[in-house]
Every structure is written in structure tokens, then in C-alpha cells.
Amino acid sequence: MKLLVINGPNLNMLGIREVNIYGRKTYSDLEDFIRAAFAEAGAEGEIFQSNHEGEIVEKIQQAYKVFDGIIINPAAYTHTSVAILDALKAVGIPTAEVHLSDVDSREEFRRFSYVSLAAELTVKGEGFEGYRKAVLWMKERLTNAER
Ligand code: CA2
């Protein structure tokens, strides 16, 4: 089972500002946390972060026939990017969406997610734990698909 985790713009700034919303832990801490979740699930995984929409689209396209599942926190592109939605639909890889914060209880513009239209699971407001939930959910999802 090969999983690809994609993190969108500004998530590399975690722990530096807006600690009241996103917490004090850094992006490197998040990578360590996700690697531990891969190990718990017995999955192989890669973690990719980009501040550029086109790079995220290309990474999703390159995942075709390489990765079995995608876990994505598209960050601000969640609310704007038809291109990322179309890329996810194009590759047809099972997708889970993660948000550190509870996007439903923040500004109105964060309530809508294009990526939710392709994702089978969305986890919001659970901090780093949301990634672990998504990895473990994906393990179940892919195991059941093999039966
Ligand atoms: O809650 C989430 O995970 C978000 O995807 C995070 C995005 C935001 O645009 C989404 O609405 C919800 C923002 C990530 C930026 O993270 C920062 C980290 C440190 C300082 C400032 C922003």
C-alpha cells in the first residue's frame, strides 16, 4: 500500500504564526507524525508540500498508477482550486481530505471545499490526529477494495 500525502500552501509555516489556530508544532513535527502513522498502518508513504497550485496538480497526475491512496490538505486551494479537483478526478485514486482546523467554524469562505467533491473522507478540526485518522481510514478502504 503506497500512500501520498500532499500539503498545500503555507503549511510549511506551521508553528511560526497563528499558533492559536494551528498549534505550536512545526511542519517538520507534522512530517514525523505522518511517518509514524504510515508505520502504524504498515504503509509505504511519501509526503509532499508545495506552495504552488500547478506543482500540486502535477504531483497528483504523477501519482497515477504509482500511489494507491492520496491524503491531501490543500490548504487555501481547498476553497479555490477547480484544477486540483479535476486532477483528483482525472487520476481516480481514492482520496481523503484533511484540515487541521475546523474550517466550518471559521470565516464563511472556508466552508466550501472543491476537494470535498472528489474526497471520500474529510477530517476537520482534529489537528495532526486528522492525518493519522485519514491514513488508518485509507488502510481499511484499500484493504476492503482488495477483497
Ligand atoms: O485547517 C487547515 O488545515 C487549512 O487547510 C489550513 C489552511 C487554510 O487556508 C484552510 O482554510 C484550512 C492554511 C494553512 C496555512 O497555515 C499557516 C501556518 C502558519 C501560519 C500561517 C498559516
At residue 145 the predicted structure's pLDDT band, cuts being 50, 70 and 90, is confident
The tally of domains found in the chain comes to 1
Domain that holds residue 77: 2-146
Q: Give the pLDDT of residue 38.
A: 98
**Which residues are CB-neighbours of 38 under 8 A, at least 6 positions away?**
3, 44, 45, 135
Q: Give the pLDDT of residue 17.
A: 83
Q: Are 113 and 122 in contact (CB under 8 A)?
A: yes
What would the mean pLDDT of 46-58 be, rounded to a whole number?
98
Query: Does the structure show a pLDDT above 80 at 146?
Result: no
Q: Of 79, 65, 88, nearest to 107 (Cα)?
A: 79
- Please report, for the domain that includes residue 74, its CATH number: 3.40.50.9100
Q: What's this model's pTM, rounded to 2 decimal places? A: 0.97
Query: Does the structure show a pLDDT above 70 at 147?
Result: no
Active site residues: 22, 99
Pocket flag, ligand 1, residue 21 (CB < 6 Å): no
Q: Among 17, 27, 50, 100, say which to mutate for ligand 1: greatest number of ligand atoms within 8 Å of CB.
A: 100
Quick: pLDDT tens for 80-119. Answer: 999 999 999 999 999 999 999 999 999 999 999 999 999 9
Q: Are 104 and 134 in contact (CB under 8 A)?
A: no
